[in-house]
Amino acid sequence: MSPGLSSGTSAGMAPERKSAEAAGEGRPGGSGAATPEGASPVPPARSASGAVKAMGLSLNAITREAEEARVLRQALSEGERVVTVDPARIEASFVEDRLMIEGVADPDFETLVESVRESGQQVPVLLRPHPEKPGVYQTAYGHRRIRAAARLGRPVKAIIRALSDDELVLAQGKENAERRNLSFIERALFAQNLAQRGFDRKMIGEALAVQKSELSRLMQVIESVPNNFVRFIGPAPKVGRERWMKLGEILSKDARQVQGIDVVYSDKFRAADSDRRFQMLFSHLDAIGKPMKVKRSAAVPGQPADPASGKGARPLADARGRVFARLRVEAGATRIEFAEDTPTAFIEAATALLVEAHQRFAQEEAGDS
């Protein structure tokens, strides 16, 4: 028997009660437990609240529960045993498929932890012997269940199967496809990671259960958004392809990336959830990218009039005396208004210089205090 591994039987997998574990690997959407081979499912007791909950079950959740039961029945029919493994001897899959944000609470994972604490782990994970480390195992699927068990200091119930690299990623992708709980950008990242490890498009499409056209869209997006910004934002489950593509277009300019770094390192950004992070970065950079137009306004009392326009503002002119912008102060607010014919490239360069100047000023102020 390998170190850190003990044998078990299907009897240890009998469901104790319905829990959130069936949905624990991803977003909420259903509950359920695997049915041991040869046992008949026992209908839950009906009550008014149970009926309401039953009506709320989605088709995805029902499909997921059926798939979990099928996997367990198949494993038992093939003579595979459910064993317990020390989580310290389990490593993640060699292909990343999830984005996690450090320091930000994950309600779905916390629900899973509580479910395992109260009801135990009802569905086994799938592992393979590590190809390079004796006594260590590599995860095909069930990463979140393993993390929950590790949090609670409990062994992991698992099925050990000898899998090739291709078989592992297919099992990993199939699990994600059945649960439908990876966000758009996580699926794109999974596709990119597979491609970088040398898997061909056919295998990647099979692992993600997508057609060629959808795979092309996933690859197009993940290649357009700098990887560090993807990781700063996280999974962003509510954000789809079009908005990620738009963000990629904005970040294609180096000046925008400089401006974006200021946002992602802010305390407000770090405290936000993933969807909010995306919106904060997108809104900030999108607003900067829009060319500013001259706005006519009345002269400010007590402020000398602009001789070029007859309005209250301070002109900003080049060496030839041509006014390209005006510094305007109104009601305590100061703004720079660029002329309508000012090139966009100049506005972007000026904005980047302003950001750099503000950073230097802030550092000097901090040094003086």
Q: Which residues share a beta bridge with 315?
A: 326
Q: What DSSP assignment string belongs to 193-257?
A: HHHHTT--HHHHHHHHT--HHHHHHHHHHHHHS-HHHHHHH---TT--HHHHHHHHHHHTSHHHH
Output the pTM of the full model. 0.57
209: CB partners within 8 A, 6+ apart? 173, 174, 177
Between CA 338 and CA 315 the distance in angstroms is 10
Domains in the chain with CATH codes = 1-39+53-180 (3.90.1530.10)
Length of the chain: 369
285: CB partners within 8 A, 6+ apart? 247, 250, 251, 256, 259, 260, 263
pLDDT in tens, the chain (369 residues): 555 555 554 433 433 333 444 444 443 333 333 434 333 344 444 444 444 434 444 454 455 455 555 655 665 555 578 999 999 999 999 988 888 877 666 788 889 999 999 999 988 999 999 999 999 999 999 998 999 999 999 999 999 999 999 999 999 888 777 665 789 999 999 999 999 989 999 999 999 989 999 999 999 999 999 999 999 999 999 999 999 999 999 988 877 888 888 888 888 998 899 999 999 999 988 887 555 444 444 444 444 444 444 355 778 877 777 788 888 877 667 888 888 878 877 887 888 788 878 877 777 777 665
